[in-house]
A and B are shown apart, each in its own frame.
Chain A
Amino acid sequence: MSFTIPTDWKSVNWWRNRSPEERFFHTKIPTRWDNFNFDTMTIDPACSQEITTWLKEYTLGKNLFLHGRTGVGKSVIGQALLKRLVLNKPLSGRFVSSDRYIEMLKDTFESDSGLLPEMYSMPYLLKYISGVFDIVILDGVGQERETEFSVHEIGSLIRRRYEDSRSTIITTSLAPMDFIRRYGDRVKVAVMDMEKIKVS
């Protein structure tokens, strides 16, 4: 199913008021995970219980920090959570990897408006990610190249969404303490406040 991608500015409510299918379409969850949902996933029972509880108790603004070593299924779980939430609640969401986010930011450098250039179908995407979408999965945080710029921007995004009470699901191979060490004081309170689940 395909939907029109808006090129003009849309409000928080506009995004929330789309049909569940359209909200799901705009999450841009990679198609390779089309068949992965909670019913088909094999996860450690204790971890599964924690995730189910988080989902059951979810309220707008609740955050989740999924950590664990590479290949254990953090991203798969993250996307399944996003899918479940946007299909069952009037919430908008987006899946974005941290390196893609940094790449998009760099692509705005040459535009005076601060918007994404023409090669992107949604010029306001970065603004939606930072301050409009109800739930954002920031995937693979820590895998982007570590530069002062990337550390600052990822940290700012996490903090801004936290302060605005918008939900962020972080997937990372960094343990919470190492995560704070990398992204600095800016993310300290936000990360401390997040529900943390170690995926194994």
Chain B
Amino acid sequence: MACSYSLQDMNILRRSIRLLLDGGLTRTTVRQMIDKFFSNDKFASADSPVLMFSSKSVQETLMNSVEISLDDGTNPIMMFMLNDFTRGSLELPWGNSDDEMLKETVMMRGMDICYRYPELMVEVIEKFVGDFENPWFLTTIDSLNSLVRWHITDEEGDHSTDWLNILQSEIELPSELRSNKKTKLRQASDNIASAIYTYRRLTRIR
């Protein structure tokens, strides 16, 4: 199928791809997303494939159907989570023996944070490196998770203890999480790769 694109289309496409790369996706991942896009009849035959490809929801669908790899600029702790808590060649500031414990802790207690604010989980881990046995490590994760849950569910109740715990651990919260009223939080991603991508994309744009 032969297509011709206007100069405006080309500019939009260039910007979309730039944003994907700035968000940390590797060129291979972007290429796979483009291939996936054109293998889908509905996408490929759209009136404007460029606009279709540039849509955030379409990009999310494409990201869910390829194996996402992120570039070297990604925080190693995020990479560790992305690689299913396997360190491989990653240089991490704790010993191998803590890997399994971290995996269990994050998966059992911190899922609500990770899929919305992966950077907060990274911050907590960084803060407690060398001191994972400190009970405040788990308390901070529990409090963060519970704060996120408070915002996203109808749950009432007092979350001031969670607040105090987080404050004491000196974790810097995004403004929406600091709100005393239930606030719209960052959209939860379907997979951890997409959560990391969203975070990176947002911080690049700011």
A positions within 8 Å CB-CB of B: 69, 174-178, 180-182, 188, 192, 196, 198
CA distance A198 to B86 in the complex (A): 11
Dominant secondary structure of chain A at its interface with chain B = helix
Chain B interface (Cβ within 8 Å of chain A)? 67, 81, 84-85, 104, 106-108, 111, 114-115, 190-192
Query: Nearest Cβ in chain A — how far from B206, in angstroms?
Result: 26
11 contacts across the A-B interface (CB closer than 8 A): A69-B67, A176-B84, A177-B81, A177-B84, A177-B85, A177-B111, A178-B192, A181-B115, A181-B190, A181-B192, A188-B107
Question: Which of A69, A174, A192 meets B107, CB within 8 Å?
Answer: A192
Residues of A within 8 A of B84 (CB): 175-177, 196, 198
A177 touching B104 by the CB < 8 A rule? Answer: no
Given contacts A69-B67, A181-B115, A198-B84, contact A175 B192 (CB under 8 A): yes
B192 neighbours in A (Cβ, 8 Å): 175, 177-178, 181
Residues on A with C-beta less than 8 A from B111 are: 177, 180-181
Dominant secondary structure of chain B at its interface with chain A: helix
Which chain A residue lies CB-closest to B192? A177
Given contacts A176-B84, A181-B115, A198-B84, contact A192 B190 (CB under 8 A): no
In the bound complex, do residue B67 and residue A176 qualify as a contact, i.e. CB atoms below 8 Å apart?
no
Identity of the chain A residue whose Cβ is nearest the Cβ of B114 in the assembled complex? A177
The chain B residue with its CB closest to the CB of A175 is B84
- For B85, the chain A residues whose CB sits under 8 A away are 177
CB <8 Å contact, B108 and A188: yes
Bound: A175/B190 CA distance, A? 11
Q: How far is the CA of A94 from the CA of B115 in the complex (A)?
A: 34
Contact, CB under 8 Å: A192 / B191 = no
Given A69-B67, A178-B190, A188-B107, 7 new contacts (CB under 8 A): A175-B191, A176-B84, A176-B107, A177-B85, A177-B111, A181-B111, A181-B115
Which of chain A's residues has its CB closest to B86's CB?
A: A198
- Decide if A180 touches B191 in the complex (CB within 8 Å): no
Residues of B within 8 A of A192 (CB): 104, 107-108
Residues from chain A with Cβ under 8 Å of B190 in the complex: 178, 181-182
> How distant is the Cα of A198 from the Cα of B84 in the complex, in angstroms?
10
B83: nearest residue on chain A (CB-CB)? Answer: A175
Whether A181 lies near B191 (C-beta < 8 A) is yes
Chain B residues within 8 Å of A176, by CB: 84, 107
With a CB–CB cut-off of 8 A, which chain A residues contact B191? 174-175, 178, 181
Closest to B194 in A: A178
Residues of chain B within 8 A of A69, CB atoms compared: 67
What are the 8 A-B residue pairs with the smallest beta carbon separation, nearest first?
A178-B191, A69-B67, A175-B84, A177-B192, A181-B115, A177-B107, A181-B111, A176-B84
